[in-house]
Structure 1
Amino acid sequence: MGIQDIIEGKKQWRAHKARVKALPPDYQIVYKEMEKYFFKVGPVDLPDGPLLPGIVDFFEGGVASGRGVLELIGNDVAAFCDDLIKDSPTYADVYQESISGEPGAAGK
């Protein structure tokens, strides 16, 4: 990874965060909680993957249609997050494999 890649990544992240700040306050609160959750237990490809920008797209659509954030995702934010990453390998899966010593053991 070169310096240009790092600079480009920072530009993309700042643009992403600007989109989040443009959301109404209730959407921002829920997004930040989701982001914390994903960075703690989320998919391994989170930094480079489409998950976070996809959530902002989804939220922007909800704002445009005049719906509240909890109307979109329901009352259980963690369950919504878990459903989004149910088929993705998570850091917890990687950790389980590392302590078991068997590759693929977490999927059993």
Structure 2
Amino acid sequence: MADEPKSRYLQYLEIVTGSLEEKKRYRQYKARIKRLPENYRTAVEALERYLMHFGPADGAGAMAMYEDLAELFEQSAADQTPVRDIFGDDPVEFVEAFMANYPLGQYRTRERNRFTSAIDRAADENTTRTDRTD
């Protein structure tokens, strides 16, 4: 059945609502988070809120990130790693480093690269003009 083409209804439904497979993965992720001890769950939910605003926007990239997040916290809970040890002294630094591993769909990464490229071009133009006048 997995190899069968989707019905027109399912194709239309996914256009309107998004991928049904991504929704299933998200529900599975939420169930994994719900099983964590309370302090780990609280930390993941806070991290998730941050990622919803600043992380990858596409479904597949975001789900890979969330699944890895669940795995990280499941393993940390199993090892009884303190939450502070997971995040270190600067939780924002941790989440930014974590997100850097998932650039697909991350508009901030694209904009940072675009900005850096524009500055590099502008600096090169300035250097070229300076070199011509010497």
Residue 106 (str. 1) matches residue 120 (str. 2)? no
Pair 48,27 (structure 1): closer, same or farther in 2 beyond 3 Å: same
State the Cα distance separating 1:29 from its structure 2 match.
1.2
Q: Percent identity?
A: 25
| One-letter amino acid matched to 1:92 | R
| One-letter amino acid matched to 2:48 | E
- The structure richer in helix per residue is 2
- With structure 2 as the length reference, what TM-score do the two structures score? 0.62
The answer to which of 70-79 and 19-28 deviates more is: 70-79
Residue 92 (str. 1) matches residue 104 (str. 2)? no
1:15-54 correspondence runs (5 A): 15-45=28-58, 47-49=59-61, 50-54=64-68
> Would you say how many aligned residue pairs link Structure 1 and Structure 2?
100
Compare CA radii of gyration and give the structure with the larger one.
2
What is the rounded CA distance, in whole Å, between the counterparts of 1:10 and 1:48 in structure 2? 10
- Runs of 5+ unmatched residues, structure 2: 1-9, 118-134
Given candidates 88, 101, 113, the residue that maps to 1:74 is 88
Pair 85,107 (structure 1): closer, same or farther in 2 beyond 3 Å: farther
What secondary structure does 2:36 align onto? coil
| One-letter amino acid matched to 1:18 | A
Pair 93,63 (structure 1): closer, same or farther in 2 beyond 3 Å: closer
| One-letter amino acid matched to 1:13 | Y
Instruction: Kindly report structure 1 stretches of 4+ aligned residues shifted beyond 4 Å.
Output: none
